[in-house]
Amino acid sequence: MRRRITGVAGLVAAAFVLAACGSDDTGTTDGADGEAPPGDSDRTYVALVSKGFQHQFWQSVRDGAQQAADEFDVDITFEGPDSESEVAQQIDMLQTAIDRSPDALGFAALDSQAAAPLMDQAASSDIPVIAFDSGVDSEVPLATAATDNRAAAALAAENMVELIGGSGQIAMVVHDQTSVTGTERRDGFVEYIEQNAPDVEIVDIQYGGGDHLESTNVATAIIQGNPDLDGIYGSNEGSAIGVVNAVKELGIAGDLVIVGFDSGQAQMDAIRDGVMAGAITQNPVGIGYETVKAAVEALEGDELPETIDTGFFWYDESNIDDDEIQAVLYE
């Protein structure tokens, strides 16, 4: 029988030092340094299924999860599908994770409804669930550790309006319309424009699955179909980089205002080069850290808040090198 956790660390600092983690190439990391397979030892085991693994954002979430695993002396696995459009693959990963009978489960849903039956299975197996990054259309998760995506998207819209001078045509490349992050980052942006910028018209909203190549194709089509476009918003790392790639390939870098979400080396380079005006950065290390911390607290029987706001920041060329921003950028 797995041991009971004793002791929970104190408050989380606003910025985290990225912790090295012993990951392999399969997208899974073990917190027990390989001493025993997670789920087969007496150590507490938390399984985390993310929305992806390839983006730097998810690597930073994993770093934060590993930091908490080290601090609370628990084992974790961290895995995600090949892309953020692979809902079926993520559901298979979730089923496999539940079949390993973890002590607790962390889950970032690609489709907030598709996972509901497996959430019920976890609950019937007495596995506490902590949602992270995205919520789940289920009452099962005890808490959700995430950015306030609607408010963050509104901040992106506010900057877009200012950057295009308060009037003009804009478009959006959103990563999906099934996850909570996709819908909230779309709706938060749209609502701000509708309520605060009567002279700004959103001429198109398309979905690129968070994939660089697909988002590039989507952005290219939008630009070619709207010659009077003034700006484009990309709602996550893959979407924003897709917009940047489209602008570069069309040879119009600097002619459109690009506002993004997340960071990553390509976005930071685009901001430093003047191709992208700015972006919202989350605190992915904090998301991973808070997810594992909440799982530990749930196993101790602590009452958890429904939402754990992990914060967000606007960054651009003027503040990208500030200490506060550098602490939450993920390269």
CATH number at residue 300: 3.40.50.2300
Percent of the chain clearing pLDDT 70 (strictly above): 88
What order do you get walking across the sheet with 200-207 strand by strand? 200-207, 168-174, 229-234, 257-261, 278-281, 313-316
Domain assignment present for residue 236? The answer is: yes
Judge whether 27 and 49 are in contact, CB under 8 Å.
Answer: no
Contacts of 316 (CB under 8 A, 6+ apart): 159, 271, 277, 278, 279
Asked if the model's pLDDT at residue 11 lies above 90, the reply is no
Give yes or no for a contact between 78 and 48, defined as CB atoms under 8 angstroms apart.
yes
What is the pLDDT averaged over residues 235-264? 95
Question: Does the pLDDT of residue 14 top 50, yes or no?
Answer: no
On whether the CB atoms of residues 150 and 118 are closer than 8 A, the answer is no
148: helix, coil or strand?
coil
Q: Specify the long-range contacts of residues 34-38, CB closer than 8 Å, at least 24 apart.
A: 38/75, 38/76, 38/77, 38/100, 38/102
pTM > 0.75: no
Predicted confidence (pLDDT) per residue in 109-136, tens digit: 998 789 999 999 999 999 999 999 877 8
| 202 and 229 belong to one structural domain | yes
User: Are the C-beta atoms of 242 and 207 separated by less than 8 Å?
Assistant: no
Alpha-carbon span 70 to 279, nearest angstrom: 31
Q: How far is CA 48 from CA 92, 103, 162, 248, 264, in A?
A: 13, 11, 39, 36, 22
Q: How many domains does the chain have?
A: 2
> What is the model's pLDDT at position 40?
62
pLDDT at 143 over 80: yes
Instruction: With respect to residue 85, please indicate whether it lies within any of the assigned structural domains.
Output: yes
3-state SS of 175-190 is CCCCCHHHHHHHHHHH
82 pLDDT more than 60: yes
Statement to judge: residues 232 and 297 lie in one domain: no
User: Are 54 and 94 contained in the same domain?
Assistant: yes
Only one residue has tokens 């001493």, namely: 35
Predicted local confidence at residue 38, as pLDDT: 65
> What's the whole-number average pLDDT of the chain?
87
Asked if 284 and 78 count as a contact pair (C-beta separation under 8 A), the reply is no
3 state SS of 137: coil
> Residue 133 belongs to what domain range?
45-146+284-310
Backbone angles phi, psi at 178, to 5 degrees: -115, -30
Residue type for position 39: G
Q: Domain check: are 235 and 265 in the same one?
A: yes
**End-to-end Cα, the chain, rounded Å:** 40
pLDDT digits (tens, 9 = 90+) for 38-76: 656 789 999 999 988 877 888 889 999 999 999 999 999
Domain presence at residue 155: yes
The answer to whether residues 200 and 115 belong to one domain is no
